[in-house]
Amino acid sequence: MPEALAFNLNFLHPLAMWALLALSAYAMVLGIKAKKTRTGTPEQRKELIKGQFAKRHYLYGSAVLAVMVLGTFGGMAVTYLNNGKLFVGPHLLVGIAMTSMLAVAAALSPLMQQGNLIARKIHVGLNMGVFTLFLWQAVTGMQIVNKIWENRPV
């Protein structure tokens, strides 16, 4: 692989993850509005139903899961291609944990659609945990990007 291409691939994962962080925040807002639609007064619900927040939350949440899985494995692949090994550390391990947590949260969707309140609470808890870890990943990821930039071929 040409050196310039390998170097540029290093930045694909961070860019995708920053976009994913924003997409995750939007999916969370839609989920909050979907809850308000379910639990609001009849007048509130009548107005909120027009926004189709539950449907949009489901669609954006599915996109978050897909991009997270691709971003996790893509980041690992680029690291391996460039270095011949993975650097097993907190950033990698937390990223794998976040991807697993998102998969479990998404798997709870059929139960939530049946009205299972416990599944809904676990779904929310997992996703809040993922979002919190994601903020931490953004910081550690930028530290990694900084190291790559400082060690770039000139």
**Amino acid (1-letter code) at residue 38:** R
pLDDT reported for residue 3? 63
Residue-wise DSSP of 74-131: HHHHHHHHHHSS---SHHHHHHHHHHHHHHHHHHTHHHHHTT-HHHHHHHHHHHHHHH
Q: Cα 127 from chain centroid?
A: 9
- Report the number of distinct structural domains present in the chain: 1
Q: Which residues contact 53 (CB under 8 A, 6 or more apart)?
A: 30, 31, 33, 34, 36, 37
**Global confidence as pTM:** 0.88
Range of the domain at 109: 3-150
* Angstrom distance (rounded) from CA 36 to CA 95: 31
CATH code at position 50: 1.20.120.1770
For residue 37, CA distances in Å to 1, 84, 107, 139 come to: 51, 50, 22, 34
User: What is the pLDDT of the chain when averaged over all its residues?
Assistant: 93
- The more confident residue out of 5 and 115 is 115
* Angstrom distance (rounded) from CA 93 to CA 137: 10
Going by C-alpha positions, the residue among 31, 44, 25, 29 that lies closest to residue 108 is 31
Are 2 and 67 a contacting pair, CB within 8 Å? no
Residue range 42-54: mean pLDDT, rounded? 95
pLDDT level of residue 1 (50, 70, 90 thresholds): low
Residue range 29-44: mean pLDDT, rounded? 95
